[in-house]
Amino acid sequence: MHFMFSVIFVLAFSAAAWALDNGLMRTPPMGWLAWERFRCDIDCLNDPDNCISEHLFMEMADRLSEDGWRELGYVYINIDDCWSSMLRDSQGRLQADPKRFPRGIAHLAQYVHDRGLKLGIYGDMGTHTCGGYPGTTLDKIQTDAQTFADWGIDMLKLDGCYSNSSYQEQGYPMMSKALNATGRPIGYSCSWPAYQGGLPPKVNYTLLGQICNLWRNYDDIQDSWDSVLSIVDWFFDNQDVLQPAAGPGHYWIIY
């Protein structure tokens, strides 16, 4: 099998006095994220081994659990964009694409958990995801948080396409509260700073550390070393500003 391991780079430094108090991710989380390698490939008819489907994530769960990655601390299997149906169900809940995830996300979560791993999922604080799938509007935040909890999700990456600054300012803190209210421990990764330029004063890192476990500051990583190096250079150039915001339970991340 052709396999490319997508590395999540986490850069964490000294702890700040404030932090999201959900007890999660006291050390930087490590695992595998689909986006950099598999993007939004949904053509399972012609590309069954690489399309976004339960088969792909089960295979990656097998690789992490059987090939020694889990023992090294790589425990997260993270679904990114393009996993859902284009329509919510009759009760207004997100649902997985029935052809590519025929047994649903809860079944996939159980498969991942049975192998000593954790499952992450993707959402978007806006009308649509970046790939054009249903987003999480303000009126759907509690519904989506509870849906993820009911499925057994362990981490949420919340993107920010198809929204604006005002919407994000309301929505990202609301989702933090909604996830905590479910009673399930769900790590919260916010893409909010990347849509605000990544740096103070536009980005309020005091607030961010109180509501998010992880956050993205800069561009998405692409499938090239030029992309990787450009992101690393940006963090290097801005490390003195970014460093004070990071610590146990709240980190900046490249993905």
Write down the domain spans for the chain: 9-254
Instruction: Please answer whether residues 160 and 191 qualify as being in contact, where contact means their C-beta atoms are separated by less than 8 angstroms.
Output: yes
**How does pLDDT run across 185-233, given as a tens digit for each residue?**
999 999 999 999 999 999 999 899 999 999 999 888 888 899 989 999 9
Please tell me the predicted confidence (pLDDT) of residue 243: 87
Please tell me the predicted confidence (pLDDT) of residue 236: 93
**For this structure, is 220 an active site residue?**
yes
Please state the pTM of the whole predicted model: 0.91
Q: How far is the C-alpha of 80 from the C-alpha of 42, rounded, in Å?
A: 12
Buried b (16+ CB within 10 A) or exposed e, 139-158: ebbbbbbbbbbebbbbbbbb
Average pLDDT over residues 165-182: 97
**pLDDT exceeds cutoff 50 at 17:** no
Please tell me the predicted confidence (pLDDT) of residue 219: 86
Please tell me the predicted confidence (pLDDT) of residue 255: 66
Please tell me the predicted confidence (pLDDT) of residue 154: 99
Among 55-64, 150-159, 222-231, 245-254, which is the least confidently predicted range? 245-254
Out of 3.30.450.20, 3.40.50.300, 3.20.20.70, 3.30.70.260, select the CATH number for domain 9-254.
3.20.20.70
> Choosing from 159, 219, 233, 240, which is the catalytic residue?
159
H helices of 50-186, in order, are 54-66, 104-114, 141-151, 165-181
Average pLDDT value for the chain = 91
Among 81-85, 177-181, 194-198, 219-223, which is the least confidently predicted range? 219-223
**pLDDT exceeds cutoff 50 at 55:** yes
Instruction: Please answer whether residues 88 and 165 qualify as being in contact, where contact means their C-beta atoms are separated by less than 8 angstroms.
Output: no
Comparing 183 with 20, the larger pLDDT belongs to 183
SS3 of 149, please? Answer: helix
Top mean pLDDT of 3-17, 92-106, 211-225 is at 92-106
> Which residues pair with residue 78 across a beta bridge?
33, 120
> Choosing from 220, 226, 233, 240, which is the catalytic residue?
220
**For this structure, is 97 an active site residue?**
no
**Between the CA of residue 160 and those of 24, 43, 83, 229, what are the distances in Å?**
23, 25, 17, 24
Q: How far is the C-alpha of 17 from the C-alpha of 173, rounded, in Å?
A: 19
